[in-house]
Amino acid sequence: MELDRKEAGFVGLGLMGAPMAANLLTAGWAVTGWNRSAAALDTLVALGGTRAASVDALRDTPVIIFMLPDLAQIEDSAAGLLASWSAAPPAPGTAVVVMSSVSPAAVQDFGARVATASGGNAVVVDAPVSGGTQGAADGTLAIMAGAEDGDFQRLLPLFDALGSTVRRLGPLGSGSLAKACNQLIVGTTTAALAEAAELAERSGMDVAALYDVLSGGLAGSRVLDLVGPRIAAKDYEPTGPAKFMHKDLSFVLESAAAVQAAVPMADAGVRLYAELKRQGLGERDLAVVRQTISNLSDHPTDKPGSSQQVRTSEL
């Protein structure tokens, strides 16, 4: 069953959400947005979108997309919406699409609450993305969906307007688990590149030249291509806050514990990015993990594993 109309609500018009909403408009979707700051809504309206007075006002929209930092914020913003649906259920087939990086287990619980509140008329689909702000602007995101196949097929035209690689990984929660795996690779690879940069520079080597030769060998990767230049230049202007990597890697640990999988790289990554936050660098770009490692080099007693280590459980 296809969607009756190309209309979408969009909650969260930040660094990723704003260009994604703009791409939906370009693809012919009618987009009604809600955001805490008015400036982002002004931009959406200037592009042809509509301003929602509240999240609750989106209750009759066939698709409602959430692009907020974490599930707790999504649940808070959707509380009135669910209350409205409890009083008067939405049309059958209404879709709530969570495109943020969230806990695989928690999004399944959220899906159950939405189903109950809507009398079974609304379904949650988790469809987190990868590709950064550039991918969001270019409409080339990788979209990892967790949904029943019928729901995924109905939403495919929407996903195709936002990304160039779109896959259904399984039922609800599968998309978030895939994103956690993605972040495991991105977070630890970025950290390894940062370590290599500090080691090379402190040894008198040119980091940009090192990265150039590495890119031609087995160490070459999209992370090296996209994040490497920022690490080499010590350019930490945010394309997305580094603090979210700590959250995302924590989801890896949560998921691994549920199936008794060993994840030593994720464990080390969680400790490192917790240290990044402790150093007050969480609002900077992910490349700032190089500064975290540099600070640890200059103050060895602060290294993860030392007596001054900040424990993951305390963050």
**E strand intervals along the chain:** 7-11, 30-34, 50-51, 63-66, 94-98, 122-126, 129-130, 141-146, 163-170
The pLDDT, as a whole number, for residue 281 is: 98
Worst-scoring range by mean pLDDT, 29-43, 194-208, 243-257, 289-303? 289-303
Supply 256's token pair. Answer: 């691994």
What is the pLDDT averaged over residues 160-186?
97
pLDDT of res. 313: 39
* pLDDT grade for 306, boundaries at 50, 70 and 90: very low
What integer pLDDT is reported at residue 299 of this predicted model? 86
Q: Which CATH number does the domain 177-314 belong to among 1.10.1040.10, 3.40.630.30, 3.90.550.60, 2.30.30.60? A: 1.10.1040.10
- Residue 38: count of CB within 10 angstroms of its CB: 9
Distance CA(9)–CA(208), nearest Å, equals 43
Q: Where are the domains of the chain?
A: 7-172, 177-314
Is the model's pLDDT at 307 over the cut of 50? no
Q: Which residue has the higher pLDDT, 150 or 302?
A: 150
Place of tokens 């080099």: 297
Nearest-angstrom CA–CA distance, 8 and 299: 50
179: annotated active-site residue: yes
User: Would you identify the CATH topology of the domain 7-172?
Assistant: Rossmann fold (3.40.50)
Q: Single out the catalytic residue among 6, 179, 277, 303.
A: 179
What was the pLDDT predicted at 2?
64
Number of Cβ atoms within 10 Å of the Cβ of 185: 14
Averaged over 87-109, what is the pLDDT? 97
Q: Is 177-314 in the same CATH topology as 7-172?
A: no
User: In this predicted model, what pLDDT tens digit does every residue of 226-241 receive, in sequence order?
Assistant: 999 999 999 999 988 9
Which of 101, 129, 131 minimizes the C-alpha distance to 222? 131
pLDDT in tens, 276-289: 999 999 999 999 99
Among residues 103, 78, 96, the alpha carbon closest in space to that of 253 is found at 103
Rounded to a whole number of angstroms, the distance between the first and last alpha carbons of the chain is: 45
Reported pTM: 0.90
Q: For residue 310, what is the DSSP state?
A: P
Helix axes of 207-214 and 174-202: crossing angle, nearest 10 degrees: 130
